[in-house]
Amino acid sequence: MIDSHCHLDHEPLLSDLPNVLQRSKDAGIKKLLTISTSFESIARVKELINRDEMIYGTIGIHPHETSTNIITSKQIIENLNENSKIIGIGETGLDFYYNNSEKDKQIASFREHIDASINTNIPLIVHSRDAEKETFDILNEYKNENLKILMHCFTGSKVFSEKLMTLNSFFSASGIITFKNSLVLQDTFRSIPMDNILIETDSPFLAPVPKRGKKNEPSFIDFTAAKLAEIKDISKVDLIKKTTDNFNKLFFNLK
C-alpha cells in the first residue's frame, strides 16, 4: 500500500514521526509521499526524506501560499536535483474557495510548476477547489507536452474527471469517499478506470470514517482502500495492488 499524499511535516505527525512511521509499516504501507506546501515546508520535507527509506518528497507551493511564497520553475528544478527521493512537483494548482484568494498569483505559480514538470518529466500534483474550468483550461493548454498529472484528493465533478481523462490524468481518492454525504463523489470514482486511480490520506487532514474527527495519519489509508474497493466492486487486495502499481508507474516508470 502507498499513501500518495500526506503532510508529515505538519503537526501532530512531525513530533510523533517514529510512531507514525511504525503504525504505517504495521498497516502494510511501503511508501509515503510527503508533500511540500511552502518554502518552510520544502526545507522540512528535504530533511524528512532522509529519516526513513519509505519517505519520498515533493517540491511545490500550495495555492493558498502563493501570496507570500513566489517560486520559479528554475527554483523548483534546482530543489528537485538535490535528492533522487524528491519525485513530484506540487502541490500546486488553483483554489478559489475563499473570496480573498489572489487568482493571478495562483495562476502564475501554477504555470511555473507546470513548466518545471514539462522540463523534468516529473509528475505534477494538482490541487483544485472551486476552479474546475480554470484548472482544466490551463492544463489543456499543455495537452501536447505529455504532462504527468495527478489530481490529488479529487472531489471534482464527473464531467471534470472526463475532461481530465483526455489529458491522461491520474486521480487520488482520499478519506472523503468514506463520508456518508459523498455519494456523488463515490459515483464519480466508480466511473474512473482503475488504471488511473491512486489513494491518499492528505493527513493530518480529512480522516476517513470511522476515524473522522480525529487527526488523520497514513495508517488510516486502510479505511479508504476498503471503501474504494467496495465502490469499484473488487477485493481490497486487488485494489491495493492496482493503486500501488499505478503509483509506481506514475512516479517510477515501473510497469
User: What is the pLDDT at residue 97?
Assistant: 87
Give me the mean pLDDT over the 49-69 stretch: 96
In this structure, is residue 101 part of a structural domain?
yes
In this structure, is residue 255 part of a structural domain?
no
In this structure, is residue 197 part of a structural domain?
yes
Interacting residues of 33 by C-beta distance below 8 A, sequence separation 6+: 2, 3, 4, 5, 6, 56, 57, 58, 87, 88, 251
> Which domain range does residue 170 map to?
2-250
Backbone dihedral region for residue 202 (phi beyond 0: left; psi -120 to 50: alpha; all else: beta): left
Interacting residues of 110 by C-beta distance below 8 A, sequence separation 6+: 63, 92, 93, 94, 138
Q: 135 - beta bridge partners?
A: none
Grid coordinates belonging to 20? 507514525
| 222-239 pLDDT, tens digit each | 999 999 999 999 999 999
Backbone dihedral region for residue 176 (phi beyond 0: left; psi -120 to 50: alpha; all else: beta): alpha
| 44-57 pLDDT, tens digit each | 999 999 999 999 99
* pTM for this entry: 0.96
| 115-164 pLDDT, tens digit each | 999 999 999 999 999 999 999 999 999 999 999 999 999 999 999 999 99
| 93-109 pLDDT, tens digit each | 999 987 555 899 999 99
Q: What is the CATH number of the domain that holds 225?
A: 3.20.20.140
Grid coordinates belonging to 193? 478506470
User: What is the pLDDT at residue 101?
Assistant: 57
Number of structural domains in the chain: 1
